[in-house]
Amino acid sequence: MTNKTTVLIVEDEDAIAHFISTVLTANGYRTINATNGAEAISLISSHCPDLILLDLGLPDMDGLEVLRKTREWSGIPILVVSARGEEQQKVEALDLGADDYITKPFGSSELMARIRAAIRHGIKMEMGEDLPDGKFTRGDLAVDFKKRIVTVDGKDVHLTQNEFKIVTLICKHVGQVLTYSYILNQVWGQFAQNDRQILRVNMANIRRKIEKNPAEPKYILTEVGVGYRMPDED
């Protein structure tokens, strides 16, 4: 008997939980369900699912508290389900260690793409296989981390030190949303003071250098009010 990937669905709305479970089951996943935070925490520790789909609006506690408690002991990939207009909660969830978020309402194709990306990234991190050869490619974009070389369509692209740090960071977390504050802290350190303007300027320069059409980027996308993401291609 083949071991199926297990997904814990933490959702108190029956219609949404049923929709997600139906989609996952049809795609060969095993699902377990929790309708509140306390039940979710119990199932996480007893079943150790491969992925958690976590709604933030739970009846007994904030979904962020479930995330916080889980991250105290586990690196299980967590995909947050968020209602529209909750940008600050999305940012907080990502900063607390969520791997990604998906906004209601969502379609089955987007849901499955996000789930596959989160599971792939989780497996790579667990096995220490994230970019083992020090190189990354996506379409015409290639990054050699050891040689600090970036090329687009085979042509060298000159990036400043901080621009290269930003590109490296986003490439190493492909498929995930990185918040503005996370990037600022990783590149400029604790003295960045959440200065988004310096990040926006650097990102504009990066896109001008690596994108064929900077106004419609395909390598680094903006998640408005939250941060940046490099799409994970299947």
Tell me the DSSP string of 151-195: EETTEEE---HHHHHHHHHHHHTTTSEEEHHHHHHHHHGGGGTT-
Segment 128-156 shows an average pLDDT of 82
Q: How confident is the model at residue 198 (pLDDT cuts 50, 70, 90)?
A: confident
- 76 pLDDT more than 90: no
Q: pLDDT by residue (tens digit) across 77-109? A: 999 988 765 778 888 888 888 888 888 888 999
Furthest CA-CA distance within the chain: 55
Segment 38-44 shows an average pLDDT of 94
Segment 21-45 shows an average pLDDT of 95
Place of tokens 């377990």: 32
Q: Where in the chain is the domain with CATH 3.40.50.2300?
A: 6-127
CB atoms < 10 A from the CB of 136, how many?
A: 20
- 72 pLDDT more than 90: no
CATH for 6-127 is 3.40.50.2300
CATH for 135-229 is 1.10.10.10
Q: Where in the chain is the domain with CATH 1.10.10.10?
A: 135-229
Burial of 144 (0-12, 13-18, 19+ CB in 10 A): middle
Question: What is this structure's pTM?
Answer: 0.68
Segment 165-180 shows an average pLDDT of 89
Q: pLDDT by residue (tens digit) across 209-230? A: 999 999 999 999 999 889 999 9
